[in-house]
Amino acid sequence: MKISELASLEPFSCVQGEYEDGEITSGYTSDLLSDVMGNAEEGSVLITIQAHKNTVAVSSLAGVAAIVICNDRPVPEDMLAASAEEGIAVFQTSENQFNTSALIAQHIGGCPAA
């Protein structure tokens, strides 16, 4: 699926739309950013509740293309500014990390571990 198609999932909203659209082929779900940095794949979508600007710094280093903030955690201004600068899309959802991961997995060809 494309990054832009994340916005059409329910209940997702795009909160930072300055990014170059591209294909998402994998996802990574974690709230420990050192783990994200070491293990998230290039071009993946990061599913997390860590809504702050350091999530953007780590995503940029790991090559994460889009961030989905779960549980409707508020996204602060400095995170929006940093992600706009890095060209990383940010989405927000009221769903938790498990449900969000399951939903996105269906759209990128099912669960790779199955």
Partner 1 sequence: MKIRADFHIHSCLSPCASLEMSPAAIVQQAKAVGLNAIALSDHNCGFNLPAFGKICEQQGMNCLFGMEVTSVEEAHILCLFDQLDKAMELGEKVYDSLPDIPNNPEKFGDQPIIDENEEILGFAEKFLISASGYDVSSLVTEVHALGGLIIPAHIDRMVYGIIAQLGFLPDEEFDAVELTAHGDPALALNYPIVRNSDSHYLNTLGSTHTDLELDAFAVENIRSNLWKK
Contacts of 14 (CB under 8 A, 6+ apart): 6, 7, 89, 90, 91
Q: Which is nearer to partner 1, 34 or 113 (CB)?
A: 34
Q: Which is nearer to partner 1, 24 or 69 (CB)?
A: 69
Residues found near partner 1 in the complex (CB under 8 A) = 31-34, 36-38, 50-54, 57-58, 61, 76, 78
Q: Which is nearer to partner 1, 20 or 77 (CB)?
A: 77
Report the nearest approach of partner 1 to the CB of residue 74 (Å): 10
Candidates 47, 48, 94, 53; CA nearest to 76 is: 53
The first and second tokens of residue 19, run together, are 């990014």
